[in-house]
Amino acid sequence: MLSTVIFDMDGVIIDSEPLWHESEIEVFHRYGVPLTKAHCIETQGIRIDEVVEYWYGRHPWQNPPKEKVAEFIVDGLIERIHERGELINGVMFALNLSRSLPVRLALASSSSYRIIDAVIDKFGLRDRFELIYSAQEEPYGKPHPGVYISTAHKLCVTPESCLAIEDSINGVVSAKAAKMKCIAVPEATARSDRRYGIADVLLDSLNDIEEPMKEMITKAPS
């Protein structure tokens, strides 16, 4: 039996991926990096300092420092979250379903606590989770499994007894590398990507999560 459900945030709780893309494209263009939405999808789910490092390695700029570029992207994102941030369709159903089952709930995100706080407080979700944990506390973000392994350890449960809810390839890789079960709910344009085949279940919408979640939680971990 699984003991814990761990939700990713960006693309699972909030429809923030388009907002990330807007902010990244705007800021990177400012410094001569010809970023497109397809480029943004490449790094979706990765910690922002690692995203900046990734693109700096391919299109280096003189100034400002990489840390400032990351800060500018986060500033733009948070402004957009306050103005236009919306919950992912079906997430309240998934959260309410999880609460009705004999499991603990946590959130594990590549985003910094500054971004997590903006989202959680905007939608009043803080009391939904026993633990909220950011990959900013880890040496590496997703797809490294550290954020998921640490979340499990902080809850004193084994990673094998956890179910992760993810949307990005990098997030799915992170969860599976941590030896967790994983339900993936990618955006429509990404669903045909064969790399999602490593997820235990692939869904079109969180509104479809009830049957697979109940089945996975009641099964003994393999």
CATH at residue 139: 3.40.50.1000
pLDDT attached to residue 33: 97
pLDDT attached to residue 188: 86
Average pLDDT (93-107) is: 98
Residue 108 and residue 52 share a domain: no
Residue 8 and residue 59 share a domain: no
pLDDT attached to residue 42: 87
Give the span between the Cα atoms of 117 and 140, in whole angstroms. 21
What secondary structure, in 3-state letters, does 157-200 show? CCHHHEEEEECCHHHHHHHHHCCCEEEECCCHHHCCCHHHHHCC
For the annotated catalytic residues, the residue numbers are 8, 10
Q: What is the pLDDT of residues 174-183, one digit of tens each?
A: 999 999 999 9
Give percent above pLDDT 70 in the chain: 99
Residue 58 and residue 115 share a domain: no
How many domains does one find in the chain? Answer: 2
CB 84, CB 19: distance < 8 Å: yes
pLDDT attached to residue 168: 93
Helix axes 48-58, 66-84, angle to 10 degrees: 130
Residue 213 and residue 137 share a domain: yes
Question: Has residue 222 got a pLDDT over 60?
Answer: no
Short-list 108, 115, 189, CA closest to 151: 108
Contact residues for 206 (Cβ-Cβ < 8 A; gap 6+): 12, 88, 89, 90, 91, 93, 94, 165, 185
Query: Of 39-43, 81-85, 121-125, which gets the smallest average pLDDT?
Result: 39-43
Residue 53 and residue 43 share a domain: yes
Residue 110 and residue 77 share a domain: no
Residue 62 and residue 24 share a domain: yes
Domain stops at, among 84, 109, 128:
84
Residue 106 and residue 204 share a domain: yes
CATH number at residue 74: 1.10.150.240
Residue 70 and residue 154 share a domain: no
pLDDT attached to residue 189: 83
- Residue-range definition of the domain harbouring residue 154: 4-15+86-218
- Strands of 104-109's sheet in order across: 131-134, 104-109, 4-7, 162-166, 181-184, 201-202
Domain stops at, among 84, 103, 118:
84
209 falls in which pLDDT band (50, 70, 90)? very high
Query: Of 22-31, 40-49, 130-139, 147-156, which gets the smallest average pLDDT?
Result: 40-49
Give the span between the Cα atoms of 169 and 164, in whole angstroms. 13
Amino acid occupying residue 6: I
Domain stops at, among 84, 113, 135:
84
Q: What is the mean pLDDT of the chain?
A: 96
Residue 116 and residue 37 share a domain: no
Average pLDDT (202-218) is: 97
Residue 91 and residue 163 share a domain: yes
Residue 90 and residue 143 share a domain: yes
